[in-house]
Structure formats: C-alpha cells, structure tokens
Amino acid sequence: MRFEEQLLDHLPRLRRFAHALARNAADADDLLQASVERALLRREQWEPGTRLDSWMYRLMRNLWIDTVRAETRRGETFVPPDAGEAVGAAGNQEAVVELGKVGAAMRTLPPDQREALALVVIEGFAYREAAEILDVPIGTLTSRLVRGREALMAKLGEAA
C-alpha cells in the first residue's frame, strides 16, 4: 500500500487525536491539516515497515507543541469556547449530551494527561506504544493516566 493510502486510512484517528490536543474544532482541523502536509513533505523520514500511525501521532504532537510555544511567545493563550461542540449521532440526544460532557471534561485536563488518555483510552494504544509516542518512560505515562482518569471522573461526577 502506498504511503498516501496508508495516511488516508489513519485520518479519522488522527483527527480524534488532534481534537484531544487542540480542544476546539478549528485548531484541531488546522493541526490535522498541518500534520498531513508535514508528513507528505517529510515522507522520506518515515521508515517503511514501521508503524505509520505512531510516526504520525508523534509528528502531530510535536507540531502541536511547537504551535503552543509559538502562541505563548506571542502572548496569546488558547481558551476553549464556552459551548462545547456536539459529538455523537443525531437522534440519540442522551448519548450526545454524555459525550459532550466527557469532551468538556477532557478539555479541562492538563495537556500531559489529555494526551495520555487520548492515546490509551480513545485510540487504544498499548502503554508501551503510547509512552514511545509521547517520548516518556512507561511509569510516567501510567502516572499521567491515573491522575487523568481520577480528574476526569471527578469532573464527570460534578457534572452529574
């Protein structure tokens, strides 16, 4: 399978990860677009036979870190919008409301916890793979997951 075809297969998962990082739809879409563009320009850096998805997650995460640092240097901050975006299928309003609460709670977590939860809980990566993507020891990833899950459950408990 060609590089471009493999990249297309990963777009839905990459989009979810972009939303977990950026916390709002416009920034997430920009991040996804920039990540795909960078991947296409730097495709020779990817080693065939290795996992393209892991390479893309790392590329996207690094691009996001660069973006946040640049914005911080300009004196701007990212503030999530008051109204969360609607997530879920039409016709199942209870599920939409619950997913919206989870999304809103995720956006309040610190970036390190949000990244860990997005990779392990949402994207289904094994702890070792997620630790490699985030470039942290597995113990650090585990700690972030525990703190993130606790904070998420506390926030969801408050919303009930």
Q: Which CATH number goes with the domain that contains 139?
A: 1.10.10.10
**Residues 3, 86: Cα–Cα separation, whole Å:** 32
| Residue of 22 and 91 predicted with greater confidence | 22
Is 132 found in the same domain as 73? no
Is residue 156, in this structure, part of any structural domain at all? yes
pTM for the whole structure: 0.56
Q: 140 lies in which domain range? A: 91-160
Q: Considering 35, 55, 78, which residue would you say is the last residue of a domain?
A: 78
Per-residue pLDDT tens for 23-44? 889 999 999 999 999 999 998 8
Q: Are 125 and 117 in contact (CB under 8 A)?
A: no
Take residue 54 and report the two structure tokens written for it.
Answer: 């892991």
Is 67 found in the same domain as 103? no
Is 70 found in the same domain as 37? yes
Is residue 110, in this structure, part of any structural domain at all? yes
CATH code assigned at 54: 1.10.1740.10
Is 6 found in the same domain as 72? yes
The domain tally of the chain equals 2
Is 107 found in the same domain as 37? no
Per-residue pLDDT tens for 39-67? 999 988 888 888 898 999 999 999 998 88
Is 61 found in the same domain as 8? yes
Per-residue pLDDT tens for 87-142? 444 555 666 556 677 778 888 889 999 999 989 988 889 999 999 999 999 999 99
Burial (CB count <10 Å: 0-12, 13-18, 19+), residue 118? buried
Please say if the pLDDT value at position 158 is more than 90: no
**Residues 39, 36: Cα–Cα separation, whole Å:** 5
